[in-house]
Amino acid sequence: MTWLKFVNVFFFQWLFVRLTKCSREEIISIDKLISYDIMPDGSIGSRAVGTKATKIWYSIQGFIIPCTGWWNSFIYIGEPVFWKITKEKISL
Look up the pTM and report it: 0.69
| Domains contained in the chain, number | 1
- How far apart are the C-alpha atoms of 69 and 47, rounded to whole Å? 38
**Residue ranges making up the domain that contains 35:** 3-91
Q: What is the pLDDT of residues 9-31, one digit of tens each?
A: 899 999 999 999 999 998 888 88
Q: What is the pLDDT of residues 42-76, one digit of tens each?
A: 888 878 888 889 999 999 999 999 998 888 888 99
> What count of other Cβ atoms lies within 10 Å of the Cβ of residue 92?
7
